Amino acid sequence: MRNNMSEPLVSIIVPTKNSSATLTDCLSSIANQSYSNIELIVVDNFSDDTTPNIAKKFTKNFFSKGPERSAQRNFAVSKASGKYICLIDSDMNLDESVVAECVELMEGNTNIAGVIIPEESFGEGFWANCKHLERSFYIGVPYMEAARFFKRIDFNKVKGYNFAMVSGEDWDLSQRMEVFGRLARTPSFIHHNEGKISLFKTVKKKYYYATRFASYTSNSKSRDKVTQQVSILGRYRLFFSKPKQLFANPLLGLGMLFMKTCEFGFGAAGYIVARMRKTL
């Protein structure tokens, strides 16, 4: 990566675990940023594939740490030197102007506490296309998006990610960072690689995260946002508020609604099971 010391240093943090399928594209998108003064830090959760070898081709700042993303990210920030930190997942690719836009927003206004980078999904197959359609409804919706770019000093003041959270941790951090100011948004995007997903895979993932969602809902600093995020009827209202977008491809629209209904059902089951375990 090129270095221009007249620009504030940005530490980009990528947690990984068996990420070999997507990591090269992710780290290449970071290497190809139009912004020059970047420090890349990869923290791996003891992968047993080629993830470490891939990461070491892009950075000397490679570490091993677990057990979940929150711990990995906090550890990475403790190793970071940047004025700013940018928190990216290993299955995400960045438009080349993302970092430059984030720095410009933060440097240009002291009242900005963090920057939201809007997210689009892509992948292979029908269900990945359904996920792409779903995420298109969340762009610009304040309670559905979370910031990923912050001042490192502010991140440390709020003590970073909550270790107890495996689900909702991005929303939680973003809400706590708002004590320092408002959130801004970039015009450029993150592109989230869903890969080739199946309906079973997506509902299983939803169930897993739902069993760990109570730590977020019970500790969130924004009750209004939590209410909106967990409202199933509210989510359907959001989808049906844009019927042309929802049914531009009728089969895809119906597939997305079916997928979300399955996710909501399994998510509710996971949440209830987790609550019952706590009472036993």
pLDDT score at 1: 42
Q: Is-contact 152 82, C-beta < 8 A? A: yes
Written as six digits, the tokens of 168 are 């909702």
pTM of the entire structure? Answer: 0.91
CA distances from 17 to 91, 166, 218 (A): 11, 15, 28
Predicted confidence at residue 4, as pLDDT, reads 53
| pLDDT computed for residue 280 by the predictor | 60
CB-based burial label for 236 (10 Å; 0-12, 13-18, 19+): middle
Segment among 77-86, 144-153, 207-216 with least mean pLDDT: 207-216
* Three-state secondary structure call for residue 93: strand
Q: What pLDDT does residue 230 have?
A: 85
Please list, in sequence order, all residues whose beta carbon lies within 8 angstroms of the beta carbon of residue 213, skipping any fewer than 6 positions away: 167, 168, 267, 270, 271, 274
Q: What is the rounded distance in angstroms from the CA atom of residue 141 to the CA atom of residue 156?
A: 27
CA 123 to chain centre: 17
Q: Give 80's strand partners.
A: none
Q: Does residue 235 have a pLDDT over 50?
A: yes
pLDDT digits 0-9 by tens, 26-62: 999 999 999 999 999 999 999 999 999 999 999 999 9
H-state helical runs in the chain: 20-31, 51-58, 69-79, 98-108, 126-136, 152-157, 169-177, 199-210, 214-217, 223-230, 232-240, 243-246, 250-279
- Residue 85: half-sphere exposure toward Cβ, Cα within 13 Å: 23
pLDDT of residue 227: 85
- Does domain 10-279 sit in CATH 3.90.550.10? yes
The mean of the pLDDT values for the chain is: 93
pLDDT at 168: 87
The position carrying tokens 């963090």 is 114
Q: Give the domain ranges of the chain.
A: 10-279
Say yes or no to pLDDT of 94 above 90: yes
126-184 pLDDT, tens digit per residue, is 999 999 999 999 999 999 999 999 999 999 999 999 987 878 899 999 999 999 999 99
Instruction: Report the pLDDT value the prediction gives residue 9, as an integer from 0 to 100.
Output: 98
Least-confidence region, from 67-71, 99-103, 235-239, 249-253: 67-71
Supply the pLDDT for residue 2.
Answer: 41
C-alpha span between 86 and 150 (Å, rounded): 7
Determine the Cα–Cα distance for residues 148 and 180; give it in Å rounded to an integer: 15
